[in-house]
A and B are shown apart, each in its own frame.
Chain A
Amino acid sequence: MTAAVESQEPTAVPTQRPAARRARRPRRLGLGRILTLPGQMVSVIVLVVPLSVAFYMSFTDWSPTRGSLLDAAFVGLENYWELLVYDTRFIEAVIRTLALTVVCLSLEFTLGLGLAVLFLRKFRGKSLLFSVLLTPMMVLPVVVGYTFWMLFQSNGPINQIIAFLFGADATPEWFREAPFAMTAVIVTEVWHWTPLFFLILLSGLNAVPDNLTRAAVILGAKPRQVFWRVIFPVLKPVIMVALVIRSMEVIKLFDEVFMLTRGGPGTATETISLYIYKLAFADFQLAYGAAAAFLVLVGTLFLVSLLLTPVSEQLIKSRR
């Protein structure tokens, strides 16, 4: 890592003269490297060591109830095989999480974009509404989960409103039936994170040069065409980055589901993180859980790179 920094052009540090920099190069252990050492050691301790241990663990049958990890039997790819071929609960959790990601992101994107477009205009109370809109994002996920758990109680405020509007027979038992439990999870998640989309898309929209839209208008584009043919393509990298950030978040979704449904009824709202949590800390199958976690990591990496492919040129090589 340090080598890459060293090899950068001298212009990267304008205050230093190139000659002085070149003269120092032969000294392999420069002050710069020594200064980065503590940071590197911390990253080794907190990142590399646990990840390596977990990676090794995923090839064993270790459980904390059975003594040291070093004594655990090496089982090769057995855990992975089991997960991918036989563990329907795992596969269902993966599919459920992906479906949840698609639904939540679609809703959050649509709502966030609508709000952002609204905020391009002037209206009364705009700055107040702006602060209000950003508040959900600042609330702790656990608190959001707990709040919505109370809101969705069978005699809670949401059901009271439904009863008032459609009669007492229309009130669902939110956490007892699978579709309703899932709806509650989605509503909570969308409420919590639409502001992020709103914020990112608003800054993206504001960064679109006025003259681009003006040029399109003069050339004859209608508002809809201006949006889809000029603004949207310029906004695309921003949208993709927002989608990547949020999809990683939804894949890791834990707190709200844990507070709302604990994955229930049955496993109807069990996300992948919740399942791995249960494997590791309820069933003490730590090795098996580690294998599942690595599969999710690989899957997420694949998904993220897939999402970023169409905009990688714009993001990385945009300026020569």
Chain B
Amino acid sequence: MTAAPKLELRGLRKDFGGFTAVDSIDLEIEAGDTVALLGPSGCGKSTTLNMIVGLEEPTSGDILVDGRSVVGVPPQDRNIGLVFQDYAVFTHMSVRKNLSFGLEIRRRPRAEIGRAVDEVAELVGLSEVLDESPRVLSSSQLQRVGIGRTLIMKPSLLLLDEPLSNLETELRTAMRQQLRQLQLEYGQTLIYVTHDQIEAISLANKIAVMSMGAIRQFDSADRTYGQPAHTFVASFLGSPPMNLMEGELRREGRALCFANGSAAIALPQEVLPHGVEEGRDLVLGIRPESLQVAAGEAAMLEARVTLVEPMGPEKIATLRIGNWELKGLFAAGTRLVEGEFLSLTAQATQICLFDGASGVRLNPLRPEEPAWA
């Protein structure tokens, strides 16, 4: 078995004419990691993927696999596998021929190919359909053909482009488990490229969130969700996403206050990072589920309930404070009346402050903590 490598991107950049698709990104992926490249379409994640695989050459920067640069190395010599979103299965060949394609191209001995095909077919669960035409296979089987065809080459790095998005809902769960299992058994370093946050969170142990050609945060799923490093991450992850409010800091006596016009939120002292002065434009972020009903002294803000949407075990409330509109996620039993005012609070650790201009997080990231759920 090939030792799983470390992938390193150093200042990787790709320009198409005047358009910068990927803007000097740095990324380090440890051996055996499962990483998701997450971002909306057009954020540069597919271009990054294509550069890693070798379908696209970077404008500048370097790609290192196991410490060696692969820039300029043709795709077939990089030992990197890619499973396409549409699987790209060769429909004119049997499943067996699909699996053996890479080895046959490389003129490996017949016996070796046969053995490898049987082994991989067993691994991805295609032994029963080896001699079938891909035309009769289901989409999850087609995907497994795509994965098996790549795994047979024993790639040191396996990339999957939107692996779950073409599957029906019930197959997604099954495929997710299979991919997990595959990773555990094979110790393969996996990189998923996806625009779906659920896909990213459920498949990967680390997530690189991309937007506008830049990586906004590369961290564990828990931390990217609970402690977003950028307003983009905060607004991209979560459903409903994090409440983001524009305003400025004001000091009223000993109390600290985040305000915009008439709207104000009393902030605990510990939220304020060092070196942030009064009057600076900021963005305050609180997750909808971090908001808790409070009374009297504990209350940080007073908001008017404008809409209540029951969602089974939970209720989503739309809240209004001045110009800000917030979403709050409450237990189904919480008393919420549209039109009434509600006193709310949130734990200091769950309040995020971002720079108003750049969107970068200002309060420092805390060390890894138990899951937010």
Interfacial residues, chain A to chain B (CB-CB below 8 A): 209, 211-212, 214-222, 225, 229-230, 233-234, 236, 314, 318-320
List residues of chain B with CB within 8 A of the CB of A222: 105
Known: A318-B135, A320-B135. A219 touches B88 (CB 8 A): no
Name 16 interchain pairs, CB-CB below 8 A, sorted by A. Answer: A211-B84, A212-B88, A214-B84, A215-B90, A216-B101, A217-B76, A218-B75, A218-B150, A219-B105, A220-B153, A233-B90, A233-B92, A233-B93, A234-B91, A314-B92, A319-B135
Q: Considering only CB atoms, which chain B residue lies closest to A211 in the complex?
A: B88
Contact A219 B101 (CB under 8 A): yes
Known: A211-B86, A320-B136. A217 touches B55 (CB 8 A): yes
Known: A233-B92, A318-B135, A320-B136. A218 touches B86 (CB 8 A): no
List residues of chain B with CB within 8 A of the CB of A220: 76, 102, 105-106, 153
Interfacial residues, chain B to chain A (CB-CB below 8 A): 53-55, 75-76, 80-82, 84, 86, 88, 90-93, 101-102, 105-106, 135-136, 146, 149-150, 153
Q: How far is the CB of A122 from chain B (nearest CB, A)?
A: 13
Beyond A214-B82, A218-B81, A234-B92, 14 additional contacts (C-beta under 8 Å) are: A209-B86, A211-B88, A212-B88, A215-B146, A218-B80, A219-B150, A220-B105, A220-B106, A221-B101, A229-B105, A230-B90, A233-B90, A233-B93, A319-B135
List residues of chain A with CB within 8 A of the CB of B105: 216, 219-222, 225, 229
> When chains A and B are docked, how far (Å) is the Cα of A218 from the Cα of B155?
11
Q: Which of A215, A216, A233, A320 has the most CB of B within 10 A?
A: A215
Q: Considering only CB atoms, which chain B residue lies closest to A215 in the complex?
A: B88
Q: Considering only CB atoms, which chain B residue lies closest to A237 in the complex?
A: B92
> When chains A and B are docked, how far (Å) is the Cα of A251 from the Cα of B91?
34
Q: In terms of DSSP, what is the predominant structure of the interface of chain B?
A: mixed
Contact B82 A215 (CB under 8 A): yes
Contact A209 B88 (CB under 8 A): yes
Q: Considering only CB atoms, which chain B residue lies closest to A212 in the complex?
A: B88
Q: B102 is contacted by which of A219, A230, A233, A320 (Cβ under 8 Å)?
A: A219
List residues of chain A with CB within 8 A of the CB of B86: 209, 211
Q: How far is the CB of A243 from chain B (nearest CB, A)?
A: 18
List residues of chain A with CB within 8 A of the CB of B150: 218-219
> When chains A and B are docked, how far (Å) is the Cα of A234 from the Cα of B135?
13
Q: Considering only CB atoms, which chain A residue lies closest to B75 in the complex?
A: A218
Q: Considering only CB atoms, which chain A residue lies closest to B84 in the complex?
A: A211
Q: B76 is contacted by which of A221, A319, A320 (Cβ under 8 Å)?
A: A221
List residues of chain B with CB within 8 A of the CB of A211: 84, 86, 88
> When chains A and B are docked, how far (Å) is the Cα of A24 from the Cα of B84?
49
Q: Which of A209, A219, A230 has the most CB of B within 10 A?
A: A219
Contact A214 B92 (CB under 8 A): no
Q: How far is the CB of B52 from chain A (nearest CB, A)?
A: 11
List residues of chain B with CB within 8 A of the CB of A318: 135
Q: A215 is contacted by which of B84, B92, B106, B135 (Cβ under 8 Å)?
A: B84
Q: How far is the CB of B228 from chain A (nearest CB, A)?
A: 33
Contact A218 B76 (CB under 8 A): yes
Q: How far is the CB of A215 from chain B (nearest CB, A)?
A: 4
Contact B53 A218 (CB under 8 A): yes
Q: Considering only CB atoms, which chain A residue lies closest to B155 in the complex?
A: A218
Contact B92 A219 (CB under 8 A): no
Q: How far is the CB of B84 from chain A (nearest CB, A)?
A: 5
Q: A214 is contacted by which of B55, B90, B135, B146 (Cβ under 8 Å)?
A: B55
Q: Considering only CB atoms, which chain B residue lies closest to A217 in the complex?
A: B75
> When chains A and B are docked, how far (Å) is the Cα of A236 from the Cα of B153?
28
List residues of chain B with CB within 8 A of the CB of A209: 86, 88
Q: How far is the CB of B70 from chain A (nearest CB, A)?
A: 13
> When chains A and B are docked, how far (Å) is the Cα of A217 from the Cα of B55?
9
List residues of chain B with CB within 8 A of the CB of A216: 90, 101, 105
List residues of chain A with CB within 8 A of the CB of B75: 217-218
Contact B84 A219 (CB under 8 A): no
Q: How far is the CB of B107 from chain A (nearest CB, A)?
A: 10
Q: Considering only CB atoms, which chain A residue lies closest to B78 in the complex?
A: A218
> When chains A and B are docked, how far (Å) is the Cα of A319 from the Cα of B134?
11
> When chains A and B are docked, how far (Å) is the Cα of A219 from the Cα of B91?
16
Q: How far is the CB of B249 from chain A (nearest CB, A)?
A: 51
List residues of chain B with CB within 8 A of the CB of A319: 135
> When chains A and B are docked, how far (Å) is the Cα of A221 from the Cα of B77?
11
Q: A219 is contacted by which of B93, B135, B136, B149 (Cβ under 8 Å)?
A: B149
Q: How far is the CB of A302 from chain B (nearest CB, A)?
A: 26
Q: How far is the CB of B246 from chain A (nearest CB, A)?
A: 43
> When chains A and B are docked, how far (Å) is the Cα of A219 from the Cα of B53?
11
> When chains A and B are docked, how far (Å) is the Cα of A119 from the Cα of B34?
41
Q: How far is the CB of B113 from chain A (nearest CB, A)?
A: 13
> When chains A and B are docked, how far (Å) is the Cα of A215 from the Cα of B84?
8
> When chains A and B are docked, how far (Å) is the Cα of A219 from the Cα of B145?
13
List residues of chain A with CB within 8 A of the CB of B136: 320
Q: B90 is contacted by which of A212, A218, A225, A236 (Cβ under 8 Å)?
A: A212
Contact B55 A219 (CB under 8 A): no
Q: How far is the CB of B49 from chain A (nearest CB, A)?
A: 11
Q: Which of B53, B76, B81, B146 has the most CB of A within 10 A?
A: B76
Q: How far is the CB of A227 from chain B (nearest CB, A)?
A: 13
> When chains A and B are docked, how far (Å) is the Cα of A229 from the Cα of B92?
10
List residues of chain B with CB within 8 A of the CB of A212: 88, 90
> When chains A and B are docked, how far (Å) is the Cα of A221 from the Cα of B102?
8
> When chains A and B are docked, how far (Å) is the Cα of A282 from the Cα of B333?
100
List residues of chain B with CB within 8 A of the CB of A225: 105
> When chains A and B are docked, how far (Å) is the Cα of A260 from the Cα of B121?
62
Q: Considering only CB atoms, which chain B residue lies closest to A225 in the complex?
A: B105
Q: B153 is contacted by which of A217, A219, A229 (Cβ under 8 Å)?
A: A219
